[in-house]
Amino acid sequence: MAENGLLEVPRGLDKVVVDTTSIAATDKDGWLIYRGYKATELAAKLHFEKAAYLVVYGSIPNDAKLKRFSSFLESNSSIDGATDEVIGLLPMDAKVIDGVRSVVSMLPLRQKKPDMQMLEMAAKMPRIISNCYRAKRSMKPLGCIEGNYAERFYYLLTGKEDVESARYFERLLILYMEHEFNASTFALRVTASTLADPQAAFTTALATIKGPLHGGANAEILNYMLKMKRKSEAVELVDRKLGNKEKIMGFGHRIYKTMDPRAQFIKGQLRTLSKSRKMGKLLEMAEAVEKEMWVKKGLPANLDFYAAIYMYLLGIDEAFYTPIFAAARSFGWAAHYMEQVANNKLIRPDSRYTGRTGLKL
């Protein structure tokens, strides 16, 4: 107990419970669960819309509810001409995630209710991401195609109508969808607790997810993996970076100390995907890095490590990696926004002052 009756907790709120949630958690066996279901099981068996409905509303929808939800996402997925004009004015050297954040902050919304505004922004994310990317490259926006959320999103990223690849992509989206009080979600809840509007909360989360310690690590992972040609180089890279006291992105997690089940699920998917893409050596090198990091540092691979390779094999440009994470996580943000405002209390911690006192002019 600190002075004045305040409770002093670890920096970074490590192992500190700040509130309750019924949306997601890591259970006693180390499995990430969404509303009581293992996230990996949902990724294996459900389409994205059904898993998203579960996260947002707390139950697996019947056919009628799923149809209405899917229809809402599709009908709210477009952006108006004025927004596209703004996208065209973004700096050419801006990262896609920066463009997405700027566009979302000024996006005209049709929905009036706050919860539906959160979902409207989530529905528009694939289109905003695609158009921001293409505008930077002086490419015309892609049209629309028939299909589910993952198929439409995959097309907007690659320009390809490929149901099989979209299904692989969909599994990753589901695993990215939610992860309890992660940095971007907690930041969103802080903003929501001030009773700011949904757009402000959503923008806060987008700003937070860019950081390399949260959502921005997967691009760096791909960069160093593609430079290697054999497993021995993978081991040498780990040893060299550790010797230089450099951080190797894609390893370690605040929650998962021995295994990230999401990473292992995607690695399992990669075994099939890498064979069909004739890229088995890339997976071999990744597993060599994973093994060496466990031996030398006792750190497990996290989802970002294998997700970077996974998206590369699906033909998705590296510039999309962090925005994809944001698009999937936006459904988790919607659930947390609703949960926060339904039982709101301003999130306003105290601090312990360590500066000078008693100064006079």
The catalytic residues are 253, 304
- Residue 23 near residue 178, CB atoms below 8 Å: yes
Contacts of 338 (CB under 8 A, 6+ apart): 56, 115, 118
Helix axes 81-88, 114-136, angle to 10 degrees: 50
Distance CA 256, CA 344 (A): 29
In whole angstroms, how far apart are CA 65 and each of 62, 90, 111, 284?
A: 5, 38, 19, 43
For 126, the token pair is 């694939």
In this structure, are strands 32-34 and 37-38 parallel, antiparallel, or unpaired? antiparallel
For 274, the token pair is 């890498």
Cα 91 to the chain's mean position, in Å?
A: 24
Helix axes 218-226, 321-342, angle to 10 degrees: 160
In the three-class reduction of DSSP (H, G, I as helix; E, B as strand; rest coil), residue 113 is classed as coil
